């Protein structure tokens, strides 16, 4: 199965809930908040060695945002940060491409003639393309 890594913004309660639901991913990790608007202040949240406990910086506020990288199996409903679609015209004589941002394959297919769509690719931050959909289905399904 293909997987996508995305960066998600989380508040303190969301981070703790996500961490407790993903203990293996947070074991001994510390998450530092983004700087607060108008200040250089940051807060930290540290998970225990087994991921089941948490230590919170006493300066954390309800406005603090933490950036967390999450990994999920790609489905047609997965929102892809940068999605490349390759398709043809009705006579299949020309090939075209289009880039979508923060869109799922399903959202694009809902607006397209599916038989004209050839492939979808995940475009990574470094520009590398990964084929994730071809012949009407997710690669690896």
Question: Could you tell me if 124 and 132 are in contact, meaning their C-beta atoms sit under 8 angstroms apart?
Answer: no
The structure's pTM equals 0.67
Give me the pLDDT at residue 36, please. 67
Name which residue leads in pLDDT, 19 or 37. Answer: 19
Question: Could you tell me if 43 and 33 are in contact, meaning their C-beta atoms sit under 8 angstroms apart?
Answer: yes
Task: For residues 40 and 60, state if they share a domain.
Answer: yes
| Neighbour-count burial for 23-32, b at 16+ CB within 10 Å, e otherwise | eeebeeeebe
Last residue in a domain, options 39, 73, 107 = 73
Which tens digit of pLDDT belongs to each residue from 63-119? 889 999 888 889 999 999 999 999 988 888 899 999 999 999 999 999 877 788 999
- Number of other CB atoms surrounding residue 72 within 10 Å: 12
Structural domain including 60 reads 3-73
User: How many domains, the chain?
Assistant: 2
Task: For residues 8 and 69, state if they share a domain.
Answer: yes
Tell me the CA distances in angstroms from 88 to 46, 76, 94, 134, one per residue in order. Answer: 50, 20, 6, 13
Task: For residues 11 and 58, state if they share a domain.
Answer: yes
Indicate if the pLDDT at residue 124 is higher than 70: yes
């Amino acid at each position: 199965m293909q997987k996508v890594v995305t960066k998600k913004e989380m508040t303190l309660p969301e981070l703790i809930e996500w961490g407790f639901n993903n203990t293996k991913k947070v074991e001994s990790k510390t998450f530092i908040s983004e700087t607060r608007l108008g200040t250089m202040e940051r807060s930290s949240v540290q998970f225990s060695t087994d991921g089941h406990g948490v230590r919170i910086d006493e300066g954390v506020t309800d406005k603090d945002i933490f950036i967390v990288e999450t990994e999920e199996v790609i489905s047609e409903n997965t929102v892809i940060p940068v999605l490349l679609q390759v398709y043809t015209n009705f006579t299949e004589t020309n090939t075209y491409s289009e880039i979508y941002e923060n869109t799922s394959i399903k959202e694009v297919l809902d607006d397209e003639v599916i038989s004209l769509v050839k492939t979808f690719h995940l475009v990574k931050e470094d520009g590398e393309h990964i084929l994730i959909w071809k012949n009407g289905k997710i690669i690896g399904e």
